[in-house]
Amino acid sequence: MARRARTYQKHWKADSKYGNLLVGRFIGQIMDDGKRNVAERVVYRAFDVIHEKTNKGGLNVFEQAIKNVSPLLELKSKRMGGANYQVPVQVLGERRQTLAIRWILAACKSKKGKAMAEKLADELVEAANKTGAAMKKREEVHRMADANKAFAHFA
């Protein structure tokens, strides 16, 4: 049996404007084809739009949104005796933020008709207020984990 390839930890860069590691990770996730400048412009413009709409700092709203969307539980597929079980597992560390970022960006990309910065601003404000598509995704994952908690002993 072949050995599994080694996985190396990613080293994220802090963003240039705020020096914040989480914003740097977010920009890295948005970035397409190595165009960091474009991704930074989108994020900073979204922060400006948030500031205009809510009179709160864009960075504060962003951090609150990530905190609200971060899941506590997720489902992992486990094969036991010919049957696959969805086992609820606690989400730890960086994975919580990674999932939150992924869900927020997926919610933005699914919307049509606006500039990405505006879609991102809307989604972050909604997530900070515990509404929106990303929060819906989190609730759905928690509901599924709750429904499958009978299989928690397989973890």
Instruction: Compute the distance between CA of residue 134 and CA of residue 121 in angstroms, rounded to an integer.
Output: 13
- pTM reported for the whole predicted model: 0.90
Q: Give the per-residue pLDDT at 43.
A: 95
DSSP E strands in 55-104: the ranges are: 73-80, 83-90
Widest CA span in the chain: 58
119, pLDDT greater than 70: yes
Confidence at 155, pLDDT banded by 50, 70, 90: confident
154 or 116, which is more confident: 116
pLDDT at 1: 67
- Please report the sign of the dihedral spanned by the C-alpha atoms of residue 146, residue 151, residue 153, residue 155: negative
Out of 1.20.120.420, 1.10.455.10, 3.40.309.10, 3.40.50.970, which CATH number does the structure's domain 21-154 have?
A: 1.10.455.10
pLDDT digits (tens, 9 = 90+) for 25-47: 999 999 989 999 999 999 999 99
